[in-house]
Chain A
């Protein structure tokens, strides 16, 4: 190996120990937990982003530039995954090797599905009636419900390490996040109708 060769670029970019294959928490040197400080995550994200930004390697060799791009992509993916509570919970389950089987596991409890159907019906009705107030009300009710459920997921993942139960809660949260998306979409439509 030639002595003129630069040290391995990824090490130079992110210190001695960091690897592209490190998990997302390690990448930001944060404890592997559901409860995180969002402002701390954001601060570390910007710090890392600045360290690996491709602009810094504009005059570097091809390999280094390619690596800095890989790092920038990886860090972005890490931030997007950890930022939102649902994807953070799913990622923690994945790290704990607990498959949430979202594609194949269709056996949700009937009472939960009946409740989902009722939510969907309420949204469809409010949407059809352009009931902006009603939609806002649904949003707040669901938002409150979500906060409570994420609190339960936090306890299951961080305190009790009950991953099987956490996976069950996460599957439910996937439906509820979809509901919130549908409500917010309907709110936007009703606002457009009101202003148009």
Chain B
């Protein structure tokens, strides 16, 4: 399989790798995994005043496309409100990274990681959304 230039860029220079402390103010965590490939993805968002996502970090164990998808979404969610973050669709991720059909599930994983992180944020902050 040949990776697109954008996938390779994110794979070789992943943005925002790491973790926030769990008890840090405004931090929420989304964990997802795909049985088909055994990939696991952790996406954390740090939400500030007005529900704006100030920072994001990820840790992904998986293929290049899964790492690139999660790296990309950490860049995309920054500066967005949690509601806006939920509007990110896997098709946009797949298009941006030029993912081949067999790697579409990696972009689905990244979209689901955002949803899981936002759900965790709302659970912690009693915001029914």
Q: Which residues of A contact B (CB under 8 A)?
A: 100, 102-106, 108, 110, 112-114, 116-117, 120, 124, 171-172, 174-175, 177-179
Contact = CB atoms under 8 A, between A and B. Distances in A.
Contacts of A120: 40, 61
A179 to B, nearest CB: 7
A174 B33 CA distance: 11
B31 A110 contact: yes
Given A116-B40, A175-B40, A103 B59 contact: no
| Size range of the chain B interface in the assembly | 10 to 19
Contact of B38 (A105, A117, A177): A177
Contacts of B34: 102-103, 106
A113 B32 contact: yes
A117 B42 CA distance: 8
A102 B31 contact: no
Contacts, number: 50
Given A106-B112, A120-B40, A113 B31 contact: yes
A8 B12 CA distance: 58
B35 A105 contact: yes
A113 B38 contact: no
Given A103-B105, A106-B112, A178 B31 contact: no
21 contacts: A100-B35, A104-B108, A105-B35, A106-B32, A106-B34, A106-B109, A106-B112, A108-B32, A108-B33, A110-B31, A112-B33, A116-B33, A117-B61, A120-B40, A120-B61, A124-B61, A174-B36, A174-B38, A175-B33, A175-B35, A178-B38
Contacts of B42: 113, 117
A158 B42 CA distance: 36
A116 B39 CA distance: 9
A175 to B, nearest CB: 5
A175 B38 contact: yes
Given A102-B35, A116-B61, 13 more contacts: A103-B34, A105-B35, A106-B108, A108-B33, A112-B33, A113-B31, A116-B40, A117-B31, A117-B42, A124-B61, A175-B33, A175-B35, A178-B38
Contacts of B5: none
Nearest to A120: B61
A178 B37 contact: yes
